[in-house]
Structures are given as C-alpha cells and as structure tokens.
Amino acid sequence: MYPTTKIISLSTGKIACWDTEKPAPAVLFVHGNSTCKEVFIHQFESPALQDYRLVAIDLPGHGESDRVGDVAAQCTISRFAALIGEAIDILGLKNPLMVGWSLGGHIAIEMLGQDIKLAGLVISGTPPCGPGADDIGSAFIPSPHMALTGKAEFTDEEAQQYADHIYGRSVTAKLLQQVKHTQGAIRTAMMADFMVPGSAHGQKEVVATVNVPIAVLQGENDSFISLDYFDSLQWNRLWRHRVAVIKDAGHAPFLERPEEYNAVLLEFLKDLT
C-alpha cells in the first residue's frame, strides 16, 4: 500500500508528495525523467529507514502533480532546482539529505550550485555533466532508448521500451502508466535547456568544489551511464572516496535491489550524523 499523498502549492502550481512527517532528520527523494514518487516505495517501507522523516515529491508535470503551463520557461534544471527549494521551505525541512535519481540527481547538483542547504546528497543514475554537450558522449552510453529521454510524444511501444530500460525487471503497470502520463513536452524542454552552456551551474565544477558530502550509489548494469566516467571527475567530498556500486542492478538500484541500496544509504546517513 502506498503512503497517503498530500498536496502543496508552489509558484508553478500544486505538486504531490509523500511525507512521513516524523520529528527526525529529513531525507528528500526526487525521481527521474517521466517517472514518479512511487519509485521510492521500498525506501518508505524499509524498517531500516524508519528513524528518519522521509519525503518524496512528484515533479511538475509528473505523477499526481499539476501540469505545467509555460513549459519552456518553467521546465529547466535551474527552475526545477529552485522549485524544490520552495518545497523544502514549505514543508519545513531542515537541511535535508537529498536522494536524486537520474534527472532528480542533476536537479540536486544544481541546488548545491544555487546554495540551497542540504546536509548531503546521494545520486544514482546521474553522471555530473553539462550543461552543454561537451561531456554527454563520455558520460552517457549512446543507444536508441537514450534518444527517448528528449522525445515529446511516446508511442505505446516507445513507452514500454523506455520503462524497460529505466526500471529493468522492476517495471510495473503503475510505473509504465506514469511514463505515459508524464507531460511529454517537459522531456524536450529539459533536454534543450541541458544542451545550452551556461543555462545552469557547471555540474563537474559543483562536485569538485562544494563542501557537502556526496555519495554515488550506482547500479553496475546501468544501460544509460558509463561507470568509468565517475572516475574521471574531481570530487571535493566524495563519500569514502569511491563510487558505491550496487551489484546486479541497473538504472534504478533502489527499486531493483532495495535491501542492498537501503543498507548503503543508511551507512551514509549514519556517517552524516
């Protein structure tokens, strides 16, 4: 059973979220492109994480959140980062740890660039790169399903293909439906913005300079990401000075291998406190 959804109002409209509302350190989960908060169900159900306030949001135009009017203006990495900063203030989260998956991780890195206060950051399926196309070839693995990340409209076959690659064996009818439900113009707007140098903070520079601990929890079989790319980066505060590889997992390790993922996440949380 999913947690109860609550709605909060941001400057762009209403967004949906889960919030355990515990008087405890907060962990904020932000999902990827064309997905939804439901991808984090195994973290909300985990006994190991019950001592924390867990929050997960649906990005605008995703899940149960409002559709976006002016997509070109509102659906950029920089703007979404500021909107999540608004959500943090509205929800009263105090320096949360943020877990960003895929697009959510890129947004989280931009939040650090904007000096939005986080206790720490976990990224999964997110190679710090861009904005601009210079690093795309080395960070991402070229493939037909990679091209779908910026496509405005999906056929049923394309939606299935995309879901299969981002979720692997963990794809469900609910998650496939949310891929189809996502406001597709956001994919195109996000990708167009991401390709423009200077449209947001340089992500490689952010991770090389920011004084916030960053943990990389990465599926070893991610079909989108080159694992070697992470070793090419300069990190100021990479947790334990290495990438934590989740064995037998793809792009969504928290969904495919939740027990292993949650155990590593809990280690990071304990190190922070």
Other Cβ atoms within 10 Å of 127 Cβ, number: 27
Nearest alpha-carbon partner for 258 in 83, 59, 29? 29
The low-confidence residues of the chain, meaning pLDDT below 70, are none
pLDDT of residue 12: 87
DSSP count for the chain of H helices, then E strands: 13, 8
What's the number of domains the chain is made of?
A: 1
Q: Token pair for residue 166?
A: 């981002």
Tally the C-alpha atoms within 13 A of residue 12's C-alpha that lie toward its C-beta.
Answer: 26
The CATH number covering residue 107 comes to 3.40.50.1820
Per the structure, the complete domain to which residue 133 belongs is given by: 6-272
pLDDT of residue 136: 84
Is residue 121 a part of any domain in this protein? yes
pLDDT of residue 89: 97
Is residue 267 a part of any domain in this protein? yes
Is residue 1 a part of any domain in this protein? no
Is residue 70 a part of any domain in this protein? yes
Is residue 224 a part of any domain in this protein? yes
pLDDT of residue 139: 92
pLDDT of residue 273: 81
Compute the distance between CA of residue 182 and CA of residue 56 in angstroms, rounded to an integer.
Answer: 17
pLDDT of residue 155: 95
129-181 tens-digit pLDDT: 999 988 888 899 888 778 899 999 999 999 999 999 999 889 999 999 999 99
Strand ranges (E), 177-272 = 214-219, 244-246
Is residue 51 a part of any domain in this protein? yes
pTM: 0.97
